[in-house]
């Protein structure tokens, strides 16, 4: 199977891809859409993907009366002569073979095509290693190609330096994939991580649909991972390190705009928050909640706010105020301490416990991230002045689920997440968004996602969305549509040299051993929580 010859190039073009006529002894069923194959040209090797498979006949008369019950002699005579198959192949990378360049060459963008009758081969292990990199520090084996047993590696440092997305309809294993990636990123030290864990899935052991238990990141990685929670009760039961509270003083008008849908506010009502902010500054929410109806009337008079809208806003926010994690006045120091911990190489999982409604999730995530980015910007600015390595803020990756709630076209312009996604890595902060409705995400944000890992998507709009800004989209659609319902993904973008279909590795005992093994050398000292922030 490895390196076997499949056929020869007979037609094609640079833009349309190459047509390869399959050899008579290579049946179409030996190949799959999305398979990694290699075209051997005279001066270059072209690493390519199969994008289509077609059947042909040399004489149309055979279609009118196909031989049925043909004796074997007849059947084998016809195969490959009167009847034959072709595959469409899209070159993605090319490697210069000229001998004077020696070992130093690396695969580069395709700028030419091979001549007629160049041979097509299956990719070998050597080809995978050439393209995807060998075993190494930041080359994380995320799985294998669908029909081979060779590891496909993701370049983690490239992965974290831009924002990314994990997509796929529900049940395709996005959270397992996220766990794999986070383990890889944390153990390799590619970035510090802040994970907004909406359903409390990542930190501790959890039982899956089919009844088995999977390890949590805290169990696997020990004190490299800190667990925060906004649910004090849950925190007491589980092994949570810090309980986080959020202050009314920390809520800004932009948060209300983001939550307009969740709070069931009209646009006017949401905009009223802005007017209050203008008048009362940081204190606007407490002022609003304390207002009597006279105060309200007076305010509306002077500011031009709509009275009904303002009343509605007050009513809704009084509901919100009752949440257990919200207090009047909370300092920013707990969040600042999070940043310190992140700066020292820890990763943080923020759980929500029973406060896992979209409203709570979005509110807390927005507030925390806003503060963190402000601090990061300050750090970055100081680093640019001093240029001392010690001042460089470490790469931070924020994992965000249900991303379409934060990054839909209206929210994306307003929230901190939209800003981070668009800024790329200006302040060393990037996002990892996990979502099953990529069509809900703003197109501009989507085009900024450097690496996209997609499981099966069936909605046309979702497929279109995920392929926004990716070259050679039409044939990738074929690959996307042919994915298995679970554990198969298409990787494309910044962290892989070319798109590739992958069977993701299972998140199981073998993986746990692997992770623990690679983590030994870099085990961080098991210190008490308070000591982490101590000087």
List residues near other proteins by CB under 8 A: 24, 58-59, 61-62, 67, 71, 73-74, 76-78, 80-82
Rounded Cα distance between 240 and 242, Å, is 6
To other proteins, the closest distance from the beta carbon of 78 in angstroms equals 6
To other proteins, the closest distance from the beta carbon of 65 in angstroms equals 8
- Which residue, among 203, 205, 227, 202, has the nearest Cα to 214 in the 3D structure? 205
In the bound state with other proteins, the residue whose beta carbon lies nearer, of 63 and 521, is: 63
Task: Please compute Rg for the chain using Cα positions.
Answer: 28
To other proteins, the closest distance from the beta carbon of 11 in angstroms equals 17
Instruction: Say which DSSP state 388 is in.
Output: -
Residue count of the chain: 535
Rounded Cα distance between 20 and 184, Å, is 38
To other proteins, the closest distance from the beta carbon of 10 in angstroms equals 14
In the bound state with other proteins, the residue whose beta carbon lies nearer, of 66 and 171, is: 66
To other proteins, the closest distance from the beta carbon of 120 in angstroms equals 21
To other proteins, the closest distance from the beta carbon of 56 in angstroms equals 11
In the bound state with other proteins, the residue whose beta carbon lies nearer, of 76 and 357, is: 76
Rounded Cα distance between 472 and 480, Å, is 13
In the bound state with other proteins, the residue whose beta carbon lies nearer, of 11 and 25, is: 25
To other proteins, the closest distance from the beta carbon of 116 in angstroms equals 18
Instruction: Say which DSSP state 133 is in.
Output: -
Identify each DSSP E strand in 329-418 by its residue range.
Answer: 347-351, 396-401
The encoded tokens of residue 190 equal 């590619």
- Which residue, among 385, 498, 459, has the nearest Cα to 89 in the 3D structure? 498
According to DSSP, the residues that pair with 197 across neighbouring strands are 351
In the bound state with other proteins, the residue whose beta carbon lies nearer, of 60 and 304, is: 60
Instruction: Say which DSSP state 395 is in.
Output: P
In the bound state with other proteins, the residue whose beta carbon lies nearer, of 3 and 66, is: 66
The encoded tokens of residue 392 equal 């460089």
In the bound state with other proteins, the residue whose beta carbon lies nearer, of 74 and 126, is: 74
In the bound state with other proteins, the residue whose beta carbon lies nearer, of 23 and 219, is: 23
Cα angle for residues 246, 249, 254 (degrees, 5° grid): 90
Residues 6+ apart with CB under 8 A from 351: 197, 200, 203, 227, 228, 229, 230, 231, 234, 238, 240
To other proteins, the closest distance from the beta carbon of 88 in angstroms equals 22
């Amino acid at each position: 199977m490895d390196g076997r010859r499949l056929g020869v190039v007979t037609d094609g073009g640079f833009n349309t891809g190459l047509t390869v006529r399959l050899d008579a002894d290579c049946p179409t069923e030996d190949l799959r859409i999305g398979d990694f194959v290699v075209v051997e040209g005279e001066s270059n090797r072209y690493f390519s993907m199969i994008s289509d498979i077609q059947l042909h006949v040399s004489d149309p008369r055979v279609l009118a009366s196909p031989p049925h019950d043909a004796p074997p002699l007849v059947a084998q005579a016809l195969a490959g002569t009167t009847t034959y198959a072709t595959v469409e192949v899209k070159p993605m990378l090319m490697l210069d073979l000229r001998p004077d360049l020696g070992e130093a060459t690396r695969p580069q963008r395709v700028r030419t095509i091979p001549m007629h009758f160049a041979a097509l081969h299956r990719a070998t292990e050597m080809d995978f290693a050439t393209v995807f990199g060998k075993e190494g520090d930041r080359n994380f084996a995320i799985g294998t190609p669908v029909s081979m047993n060779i590891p496909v590696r993701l370049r983690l440092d490239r992965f974290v330096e831009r924002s990314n997305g994990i997509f796929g309809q529900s049940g395709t294993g996005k959270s397992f994939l996220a766990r794999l990636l986070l383990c890889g990123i944390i153990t390799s030290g590619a970035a510090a991580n802040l994970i907004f864990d909406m359903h409390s899935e990542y930190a501790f052991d959890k039982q899956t649909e089919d009844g088995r238990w999977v390890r949590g990141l805290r169990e696997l990685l020990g004190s490299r991972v800190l667990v925060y929670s906004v649910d004090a009760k849950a925190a007491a039961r589980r092994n949570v390190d810090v309980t986080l509270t959020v202050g009314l003083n920390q809520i800004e008008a932009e948060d209300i705009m983001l939550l307009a849908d969740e709070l069931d506010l009209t646009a006017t009502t949401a905009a009223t928050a802005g007017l209050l902010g203008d008048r009362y500054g940081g204190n606007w929410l407490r002022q609003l909640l304390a207002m009597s109806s006279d105060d309200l009337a007076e305010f509306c008079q002077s500011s031009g706010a709509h009275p009904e809208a303002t009343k509605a806003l007050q009513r809704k926010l009084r509901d919100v105020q009752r949440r257990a994690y919200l207090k009047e006045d909370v300092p920013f120091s707990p969040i600042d301490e999070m940043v310190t911990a992140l700066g020292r190489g820890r990763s943080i999982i923020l759980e929500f416990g029973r406060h896992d409604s979209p409203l709570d999730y979005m509110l807390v995530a927005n507030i925390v991230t806003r503060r963190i980015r402000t601090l990061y910007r300050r750090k970055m600015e100081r680093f640019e002045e001093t240029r001392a390595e010690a001042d460089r803020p470490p790469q931070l990756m924020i994992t965000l689920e249900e991303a379409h709630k934060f990054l839909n076209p209206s929210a994306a312009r307003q929230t901190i997440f939209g800003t981070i996604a668009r800024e790329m890595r200006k302040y060393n902060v990037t996002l990892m968004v996990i979502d099953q409705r990529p069509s809900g995400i703003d197109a501009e944000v989507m085009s900024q996602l450097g690496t996209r890992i997609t499981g099966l998507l069936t909605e046309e709009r979702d497929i279109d969305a995920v392929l926004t800004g990716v070259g050679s989209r039409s044939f990738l659609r074929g690959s996307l549509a042919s994915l298995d319902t679970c554990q198969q993904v298409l990787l494309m973008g910044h962290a892989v040299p070319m798109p590739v279909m992958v069977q993701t590795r299972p998140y199981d005992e073998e993986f746990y051993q692997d992770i623990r093994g690679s983590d030994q050398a870099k085990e961080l000292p098991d210190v008490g929580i308070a000591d982490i922030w101590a000087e």
